[in-house]
Amino acid sequence: MASAAVDRPFGLLAELTYGCPLHCPYCSNPLDLAAYADELTTAEWLRVLAEARALGVLQLHLSGGEPLLRRDLTEIVRSASELGLYTNLITSALGLTPRRAGQLRAAGLDHVQISVQADEPALSDRLAGTPSFARKLAAARLVKELGWPLTLNVVLHRHNVDRVGRVLALAEELGADRIELAHTQYYGWALRNRAGLLPSRAQLESAEAVVRAARARLEGRMEVIYVLPDYHGRYPKPCMGGWGRRQLTVIPNGEVLPCPTAHTLPLPRASVREHSLAWIWECSPVFQRFRGTDWMPDPCRSCPRREVDFGGCRCQAFALTGDAARTDPVCHLSPDHGIVAAAVQAADEAAQSPAAVLTPRPNPSRRARPQSSGRAAHRA
C-alpha cells in the first residue's frame, strides 16, 4: 500500500522497446539506444502491470520506440484489460495491419494514438526517415473503421509549424477525435538537432493564431490540444505534474523513472528486476530526489509558483546547465535563463537561412531475450 504521504500514481507509460522503424530527428529516446536492448520479457511485463494496478494506476500508455515491434503486444494488452486498466497505444502505425488491429481490438485495447510528421507525403517521409505517410493514413482510417477513438500526435518544429493549418485539415479529413500539437521537447536526439528544429517567434505567433481559430471552429467535434514550446515561455511547465506525483515510466530494460527522459540524470537506478514497483514508487532514491519542494534552491524555494511548476523540468535543467537541481533555465527568473534566450535569438536569426542539417535517429537491431521467459519473483 502506498503511504499517506505519497500520492498514488495515476498513469503508467510502458516503453516496451526502443526499436522503431522511423528515424525522427526530434526523438527524445536515449542517444545510446543499444544500451537498452535487454528488454523485459512478457512475464516480466505482466507482473509489472499487476503491480501497477495494485499501486493505483488506472491508465496504461503503451509506447516505445514502436510497441508494435513486440510480438507479445496483444498478450500485454489483454492482461492490462483484464486488470481493468484503460489502454492507449502510442504508435507510428507502421505494422498496424488489419489482422494486427483486429487482434488488439479483441484483446481490449481502448484507444489508438498515431504520430504524424506532416500533412503531405514528401515532408512527412523526409522527417520520418522512411516512406510512411500513406501507411499512417491507411492505419488511421482502419482505427476509425474498428470503432476506436483516434488521436493524432504531431510534434511541431521549424520544418512543419508553418503547416499547422493543413495538419488540422488532415485531422478533420481522417475523422480524428483528438489532435495533440506538441512542440518539440529538447532531449535526446531533439537536443542534438535543436539548431535545426527550434522555430522562430514569428512562426509561433502565426501558428498560435491558426490553432486558436481551429479550436473555436472545431469545438464539440475534435479536441485540439496545443502544447506550447518550453523555450518561448516565461515560466516552465511542471514536470509530469510534479516529480513522482502522478506518473511513472518503465523503460525497455525494466528501469523505472519519474519521467520518460530521466535516464539522462546522474541518479541511482531502480529496476523492476530488483525491486517491486511499490517500493520504487514510495522509497527509491530516484523518486525521492526531486519529490516535493524541499530540494529546491532559490529562486524556486522562495517563489509563489513553487507548487505550480515545481521548479520546471529536471532533465532540461541538467541538459542545459549540467545540474539537475538548478532552476529550469526556461524560467525568466532563472540565473541561467540566458542559455534559453540565446537559443531563441539564434532561431530568430536563422529563420531566413537554410535550416541546419538534421541528424536522424538511428535504429540499432533489437537484442530482446526470449519474451516467454521470466525471472524469479522479487520484492523489496
Distance CA 124, CA 147 (A): 26
Buried b (16+ CB within 10 A) or exposed e, 296-310: beeebeebebeeebb
27 marked as binding residue: yes
Cα atoms in the 13 Å half-sphere on the side-chain side of 279:
12
20 marked as binding residue: yes
Query: Other CB atoms closer than 10 Å to residue 107's CB: what's the count?
Result: 18
* The C-alpha cell that represents 97 in the structure block: 495491419
SS (H, E, C) 3-41: CCCCCCCCEEEEECCCCCCCCCCCCCCCCCHHHHCCCCC
Distance CA 358, CA 355 (A): 8
Distance CA 358, CA 194 (A): 9
Are 265 and 294 within 8 A, CB to CB?
A: no
Q: What are the binding residues?
A: 20, 24, 27
Q: What are the binding residues for [4Fe-4S] cluster?
A: 20, 24, 27
